[in-house]
Amino acid sequence: METILLSDNEAQLEIAAGFIKSGEIVGIPTETVYGLGADASNEEAVRKVFAAKGRPADNPLIVHLADFSHACKYTSSIPELAYRLAERFCPGPLTMVLPKNEQIPMITSGGLDTVGIRVPSHPVMHRIIELSGCPIAAPSANTSGYPSPTSADHVMRDMNGKIAAVVDGGQSEFGVESTVISFEGENTVRILRPGCITREMLLEVCDEVVIDHAILHELEAGQKAASPGMKYKHYSPKADIIMVEGDADAFRRYVGDKMSADTYCLIYDGDERNFPYRHMTYGEDSSEQAHWLFQRLRELDDIGAKKVYVRAPSSEGVGLAVYNRLIRAAGFEVIRI
C-alpha cells in the first residue's frame, strides 16, 4: 500500500475523512501526539490499527469525539463529575474512562466493558472527526513499544506502506499522550496515565485525585493493570536508556567515567554550559521536556546512540508525565545520586 502525505487544507482533510469513512486508517495530528485514526465502530478498520502498530489486542484504543455532548451515544452512563470535568478541560488532553455501550465493539475497547473518551482540541483532528461523522479510535501512531510520534515524519517512518495516509499538521504541541482518568465515587478520580492535565488541575474540579500505583512502579507478576497500556514495555528507543536522578553537577560527575563512543547524555538546557560530554538537551521546565522528549529519543536512535544517560525530570505537575514515560523507557532502572 502506498501511504500518501496530505497537508492540512480543507480539500486534503476531506480526503483523509473519506479514508476513515471507508474503513482505512490515517495518521492524524493531535495536540498530544500523532494518532492512528480509524472509525471506532468499524471492527475491520480497528483490526487494521492493531495490525499496523503490532499492538497487543488487550490494549484498548481511546475514542475521539468532536464534542463531549456526543459521549452519551457511546457510553451507558456518565457521572455528573464527568460533565463538570468536560466543561473545564474539553476540548483538550483529557481521556475519561466510562462504561461503554454496544456502539463500541469489544475490539476497540481491548475486551473491556469501558471506553476511554477524549475530545481533542487540535483543529485538524477536530475537523476530520466532523467531516467523517465517525467516532475516531486513535492510539499513538508509533510502532508498539517505540516512542510516540510528534511529527508527520515520525509517523511516516513507522507506518509507511501500512496505512492509507498521514496528515501533516506540524509538530505536536504537548508532546506526551493525554491524561487518562477513571471515576471512583462521586467526587474522586484516579489518574491511570499522567499527561498535561495534571493532578493539581483536576483538583480544581474534584475533591480527590488518586495517582495509580502503576504510574511510577513496575507491575508485579500477576498484578492486574487498571490501565492495560501500563503493563507493556513502552516508549523505548533502540538505545539503552539509563535514568540518573540528581542535580547537574552530580550528574556530570556520575557520567564522567562512563562515556564511550556511542554513549550520549540527555540533559536539561540549563546544564549545557561547560558540559564536556556528547549530549542532547530536552528543555528546561516540565512542559518543554514533555514537548521534546519523544523527538529526542528518536533523534538519539538516528545518530546511533547505544546508551543514553538521562538527567531525570522532576516528577511534579506535568513532570509526572515525563517521568512516567522515561521510567518505562528505562525499564524502571533509576540511579539516585
**Which of 214/242 has CB closer to ligand AMP?**
214
Examine residue 179 and tell whether it contacts Mg ion (CB under 5 A).
no
| Number of residues located near ligand AMP, criterion CB under 6 A | 20
**Which of 179/281 has CB closer to ligand AMP?**
179
Residue 325: name its binding partner from Mg ion, ligand AMP, none (Cβ under 5 to 8 Å by kind): none
In this structure, are strands 208-211 and 188-193 parallel, antiparallel, or unpaired? parallel
Residue 207's SS3 state is: coil
Task: Return the closest-CA partner of residue 309 out of 247, 259, 234.
Answer: 259
Query: What dihedral do alpha carbons 234, 138, 292, 212 form, nearest 10°?
Result: -50
Task: Return the closest-CA partner of residue 235 out of 125, 150, 314.
Answer: 150
Answer yes or no: are the C-beta atoms of 57 and 50 closer than 8 Å.
Answer: yes
Closest distance of CB 61 from ligand AMP, Å: 6
Examine residue 289 and tell whether it contacts Mg ion (CB under 5 A).
no
Within 10 angstroms of residue 148's Cβ, the number of other Cβ atoms is: 27
Interacting residue with ligand AMP among 229, 237, 283, 313 (CB under 6 A): 229
Q: Which of residues 167-186 bind ligand AMP (CB under 6 A)?
A: 177, 180
| Measured CA distances, 27 to 142, 228, 251 (Å) | 10, 23, 38
Residue 66's SS3 state is: coil
How far is the C-alpha of 315 from the C-alpha of 312, rounded, in Å? Answer: 9
Examine residue 91 and tell whether it contacts ligand AMP (CB under 6 A).
no
Examine residue 140 and tell whether it contacts Mg ion (CB under 5 A).
yes
Residue 59: name its binding partner from ligand AMP, Mg ion, none (Cβ under 5 to 8 Å by kind): ligand AMP
Interacting residue with ligand AMP among 4, 5, 106, 112 (CB under 6 A): 112
Which amino acid, residue 308?
V
Answer yes or no: are the C-beta atoms of 286 and 318 closer than 8 Å.
Answer: yes
Is residue 79 packed enough to be buried (19+ CB in 10 Å), middle (13-18) or exposed (0-12)? middle
Q: Which of residues 282-301 bind ligand AMP (CB under 6 A)?
A: none
Examine residue 286 and tell whether it contacts Mg ion (CB under 5 A).
no
Binding mask 116-145 for ligand AMP (x = CB under 6 A): x----------------------xx-----
Residue 115: name its binding partner from Mg ion, ligand AMP, none (Cβ under 5 to 8 Å by kind): ligand AMP
Residue 321: name its binding partner from Mg ion, ligand AMP, none (Cβ under 5 to 8 Å by kind): none
Closest distance of CB 266 from Mg ion, Å: 20
Closest distance of CB 191 from ligand AMP, Å: 11
Please give the full DSSP string across 287-299, using - where no structure is assigned.
HHHHHHHHHHHHH
Residues that bind Mg ion in the complex, under the rule CB under 5 A: 140
Which positions touch ligand AMP (CB under 6 A)? 59-62, 97, 109, 112, 114-116, 139-140, 177, 180, 192-193, 227-230
